[in-house]
Structure formats: structure tokens, C-alpha cells
A and B are shown apart, each in its own frame.
Chain A
Amino acid sequence: MGSDAFTQLVDANYASLYRFALSLARNQADACDLTQQTFYIWATKGQALRDVSKAKSWLFTTLYREFLRGRRRDVRSTALEDLPPDEADPPAPAVDLVAALDAEAVVGALQEVDEVFRAPLTLFYLEELSYQEIAAALDVPIGTVMSRLSRGKNQLRAILARRGQGSRDNVVPFSNQQVRKAP
């Protein structure tokens, strides 16, 4: 692949890959490292990919594998059986509440979701990959992706609802005369 084609590939994908990395790694420095490492692997190995139309899936798959590989061994990943049972249809936050939050707060909430659900959920919200491509990228069956999306959304919404409630609680009602008169 020529340098122009490589630049095109970077321009088309680096922002989404960074967002995915940020949700996994939970800090900017590691997310940048993961994104760079992914393109480095492409530059050294990925060009052998025969079907260039699958480059995007390849990049997301590689980033996820690099994340799993680089995770410290003493950090135990959460097993599904450790997680509380899923609530059938928990109360969801209002759309207005999510719209009022800034992007950082929403990504922060996403980072609180259990890792096993976080990866498919972030890929879902990036809207770059279908559920089938997400299954291929994470190397899990399609039904598992659907199940994790469902449970992950429930977790995320509970976190967002909590955050929204928290920010509402911090708002001082305008009708509070004492506060209005304070210097």
C-alpha cells in the first residue's frame, strides 16, 4: 500500500479507533498508544490483508487483541458469572438528559460499564460495524454480541441515570430566595 493509501486509511479510521481504545483503556495516553500500535501493526503486517474492504474490521480486531494482550496479568477481568443478573427493562434516562451531558461525561459512563460489555457496546455506538462485524472483531458468537449489547445498554443507562440525577441534585432551584439573595 502506498503512502497516500495509508494516509487515507488513517484518516478514515483513526478517530473511531481512538474512541474505541479510550473506552477500553480508560485513559488518553494508553488509548493513543493502542491506536498507534494498531496502525504500526498494519504498516508491518496488515498490508498482507488480501481483501482491503475488510481493513476497518481488521483494525478494530487488532486494536482489541492488542488491548487484551497488553492488559496486566494481575488485573482479573470480570467473568460473566460474577456480574449481577440483568434487569429485564430497567428505567432508562430521558433522551434530553443524555443530550444535556457533555461527551466526556457520556464516555466516562461508558468506561464504567463492565469490560465484557464495554467493547461491543462502544463498537455499537461508534456505528462503524454491524453486530455481525462486532462478533467477528471480538471473536464471539453473534448471539453473545446481542446479549452483551442488551446487558451493556442496561448498565450504561443505569449509570447515566445516576449521573443525570446527580447533576440535577446539584442544581439550586431558582425559587430558592436565600440562594438568590446571597452575595
Chain B
Amino acid sequence: MNNEQAKFILRAYRPGGRDAGDAIFGAALQQAQLDPALGAWFAREQALDAAVAAKVRAVAPPAGLREAILAGARMSTPRPAAAPRPRWRPAAWLAIAAAVVVLLTVVATRWYPAAPGPAPLDQMARFALADPLSAHTGPHADKLGTFGAWLQNPASRISAVSGVDLAQLQAEHCRAVTVAGHEVFEICFQRDGSWYHLYIARAGDFGGNAAAGVPEFLEQGGRSVATWTSRGLAYVLMTGGGPDALRRIL
């Protein structure tokens, strides 16, 4: 695949990482990681797409449209024609009741699909290793309050992170992505000139293969990650600055 072919594919990659799990983008994303020129083009492309998408989504529907839709649907619901009241037929009623129970069960099952099961923490780590965006288009830790400031503080040991409030994180993060069906929040920060990306999720969603509080390390394509769980949360810290840069701040 040459760069023009990679660009053709990557132009269909939605900003925000929603397509990260789609195999068709895999080779093109990898190429963007390895080729600096393509990587820079892709970062610009994603930043521009994110800016346009934000503007498109900012268009508010006119006041009253929702109510008009709901009222219109109520009026369009077919009403049964008046018919003579049928005589009581227990067998028919029992059949109808049984059908309703089955129908409600099916609807409930389909409408509220089962939540995805827990995934290994390794999967979150591999996402971070392959993540082409690393949220450099969004806000960074310096705009994310006390937690952001703590991450940037040279004295902070990241593996000792505690007191992270998931509700607060949902409101303030650089980027939210979905990995294996689970929500993951990313915060980007700098230390000694190196960029770091901390991915945080519920430990119940990602766990199983990491001892609590003990970081495990992985490397791939010039990126290094450390993974650990602590106090109900799963963490992946990623940097392109090498494993030493990672160990220095853990």
C-alpha cells in the first residue's frame, strides 16, 4: 500500500477513534505510525475533521420539532375500528397473554442488549500502542483541573495515582474512546518534553491479567505502555519516549 492508497482509506476514519477496532483501517493506521509525513497528514486530517464535525453537531434542531414528532406519531397510531364486543373465550385470551409475555421478553432482550463482558487489560494496552491519534487535537492535562496538574507535576509518581473520580473524568478528559465495547478516557500530559497518554477505564471492564498496583510493560513500534489496576480503575500509560521515559514517572 502506498501513501496515496493509505490516505484514501484513512479519509473514512471518523475522528474520535470510533473506528479503531475496524480491521480495514489497520494497515493504513500502521503505515501512518511508521511514515512521519503520512502521520503528520493524518493528524491534520483528523484535527480538521474533528473541527468540522463539532460544528455540524452544534446545529440545534428548531424548538418544538421533538414535540411535533411525538404528537404526530401519537396521531398516526392506528386505531381499531369499532367492533362488536367479542364473547369471552378463555383459550384465545390465554394464547394472547402468552404471546404478549413472549413479545415483551424478546423486546426487552433486544432493546437492552447485554453489556459486553470484561476484556483483558492487554486489549486496552494494545489499543494504546496502536492508537494513531493520541488526542493531540483536544484539550490537554493543563486544562483539566487538579488531576491534570497532578499528572504534570514532576514529583508525581503516576503508578501511585489515587482518588480519580470517574464521574469527574467523564466530564473532563482529552478524549473518550470505546475499546472492546467499554468506555475509556484518555488524558495527555507532558513531562520533561515527552508526551504521555494515560488511558483510564473501570477495572471491572478490563482486568484479569494484571496484579493490582504492579505495572506490566509492553513495547511495539517505538511506543511503550505500562498497565496496572488500582482502586477499581484500570490504567494504561503510553509514551513514544521509550521505556525509560515511562519508568521515570511511574
Contact = CB atoms under 8 A, between A and B. Distances in A.
B59 A104 contact: yes
A5 B66 contact: no
Given A53-B110, A130-B22, A146-B8, A14 B69 contact: yes
A5 B77 CA distance: 14
Contacts of A93: 48
The B contact surface, by secondary structure, is helix
The A contact surface, by secondary structure, is helix
A114 to B, nearest CB: 17
A56 to B, nearest CB: 13
A107 B65 contact: no
Interface in A30-50: 32, 35-36, 39-40, 42-44
B81 interface: no
Contacts of B69: 10, 14, 35-36, 39
A88 B76 CA distance: 50
Nearest to A143: B8
A101 B55 contact: yes
Contacts of B15: 127
A95 B8 contact: no
Interface stretch (A15-23, A69-77, A166-174, A175-183): A15-23
Contacts of A51: 110
A7 interface: yes
Given A32-B68, A130-B22, A149-B11, A6 B61 contact: no
A35 B52 CA distance: 22
B44 A92 contact: yes
A150 interface: yes
A147 B113 CA distance: 34
The residue in A23, A125, A145 that gathers the most chain B C-beta atoms within 10 A of its C-beta is: A125
A43 B51 contact: no
Contacts of A140: none
A145 B8 CA distance: 11
Contacts, number: 130
A42 B72 CA distance: 11
B59 A103 contact: yes
Contacts of B110: 51-53
A122 B49 CA distance: 11
A146 B74 contact: no
Given A52-B110, A146-B9, A40 B51 contact: no
Contacts of A104: 59
A98 B65 contact: no
Nearest to A105: B55
A95 B52 CA distance: 9
A16 B107 CA distance: 24
Contacts of A58: none
B73 A150 contact: no
A28 interface: yes
A99 interface: yes
Interface string B1-32: 00010011101101110110010000000000
Interface of A: 1, 3, 5-7, 10-11, 14-16, 18-19, 22-23, 28, 32, 35-36, 39-40, 42-44, 51-53, 88-89, 92-93, 95, 98-99, 101-104, 106-107, 110, 122, 124-127, 130-131, 145-147, 149-150, 153, 156-157, 160
10 contacts: A6-B70, A14-B66, A40-B76, A53-B113, A95-B51, A107-B55, A107-B56, A130-B14, A131-B19, A160-B52
